[in-house]
Amino acid sequence: MRRRSFVVMAGAAAMLPLGARAKPEEVEALVRAITGGVPARPGRVKLDVPELVENGNTVGLTVSLGEDVPKDAVLTDIHVFADGNPRPGVVHFRFGKLAGVPKVATRVRLATSQTVTAVAVFADGSCWTDQVGVLVTWSACLD
Amino acid sequence: MAVKPLLSVPREVKAGVPFEVRILIQHPMETGFRRDAVGGVIARDIIHTFECSVDGEEVFAARLEPAIAAKPYLAFSARLERSGTMLLRWVDDHGVEAQERVDIRVV
């Protein structure tokens, strides 16, 4: 009996995620830290991530620039955040002198249904954003 | 990481024409949020830094978080005017550093 209750407790502990989930305010604070307090404007950057995800353990994610980007604008950074993961930061891309087409694809984990945010930073200091709400039916991180 | 990554880089490119670089690295990207069967935390082990340059000039770099899926995949673009050696380099939480070099000829 004692052994069984230990096994049950250990199993329950194994399924508990560590710590709390990130909050939308945390993502807002991180975005403000990038923009220098100004809200990032919607536009110029395009975030491609499926709106309905079956398996949150591996979700294809692509960031690129839209057609509304002026020809002389130089992209320097793209940040990606997820407000429902244990930590809000997902990835930070930096584009160097020899960067080609401003487009990056990767695969991410999404712990639960949440909003994914991309912030693009240009050489003139302007920041642009795109957001996608994602519905996750099978969460990552809990395995 | 003894296992070689899957790497796709053209060996010949046209001057000033963007080309795609794709890499798939064999790495568990352990998040540090999971617990083992007895409730102990499984230590975080992720590739946190990835860099790509050609003859010392930066192409692309990424700072990865635990939210990047296991076997990390990155596809990005480069544009060269001169032939050179592309260096792809990454480091994980154990300090294990790996790199790949590819000679690219501009024609």
Residue A21 lies in a domain: yes
Residue A104 lies in a domain: yes
10 Å Cβ neighbour count for A32? 14
10 Å Cβ neighbour count for A73? 16
Percentage of chain A with pLDDT > 70?
83
Q: Span A54-68, mean pLDDT? A: 94
CATH number of the domain enclosing A72:
2.60.40.2470
Residue A119 lies in a domain: yes
Q: Does A100 reach chain B within 8 Å, measured CB to CB?
A: yes
CATH number of the domain enclosing B84:
2.60.40.10
Distance from the A27 Cα atom to the nearest Cα atom in chain B, whole angstroms = 14
Q: In this structure, are residues B53 and B69 in contact, taking their beta carbons and an 8 Å threshold?
A: no
State residue A138's pLDDT score: 78
Residue A115 lies in a domain: yes
Pairing of strands B19-24, A127-138: unpaired
Nearest to A98 among B41, B59, B74 (CB): B59
First to last CA, chain B: 34
DSSP B67-104: TBPSS-EEEEEE--SS-EEEEEEEEETT--EEEEEEEE
pLDDT band at A38 (very low <50, low <70, confident <90, very high): confident
Residue A59 lies in a domain: yes
CB contact under 8 A, B39 and A13: yes
Q: In this structure, are residues A132 and A47 in contact, taking their beta carbons and an 8 Å threshold?
A: yes
Q: Does A50 reach chain B within 8 Å, measured CB to CB?
A: no
Q: Does B78 reach chain A within 8 Å, measured CB to CB?
A: yes
Containing structural domain, residue A123: 3-136
Secondary structure class of B21 (helix, strand, coil): strand
Residue B90 lies in a domain: yes
Helix (H) or strand (E) holding B33: none
The count of domains in chain B is 1
Distance from the A126 Cα atom to the nearest Cα atom in chain B, whole angstroms = 20
DSSP bridge pairs for B84: B104
Containing structural domain, residue B24: 6-106
DSSP state of A1: -
The count of domains in chain A is 1
Q: Span B72-100, mean pLDDT? A: 97
Cβ contacts of A82 on chain B, cutoff 8 Å: 67
pLDDT band at A39 (very low <50, low <70, confident <90, very high): confident
Percentage of chain B with pLDDT > 90?
92
Residue B1 lies in a domain: no
Percentage of chain A with pLDDT > 90?
72
State residue A141's pLDDT score: 57
Q: Does B40 reach chain A within 8 Å, measured CB to CB?
A: no
Percentage of chain B with pLDDT > 70?
98
ipTM comes to 0.94
Secondary structure class of A35 (helix, strand, coil): helix
Name the maximum alpha-carbon separation found in chain B: 59
Q: In this structure, are residues B47 and B25 in contact, taking their beta carbons and an 8 Å threshold?
A: yes
State residue A47's pLDDT score: 98
Nearest residue in A to B68, CA atom: A108
Distance from the B55 Cα atom to the nearest Cα atom in chain A, whole angstroms = 11
pLDDT, mean over chain A: 87
- Measured CA to CA, the distance from residue A107 to residue B73 in angstroms comes to 6
Residue A88 lies in a domain: yes
pLDDT band at A139 (very low <50, low <70, confident <90, very high): confident
pTM, to two decimals: 0.89
Residue B71 lies in a domain: yes
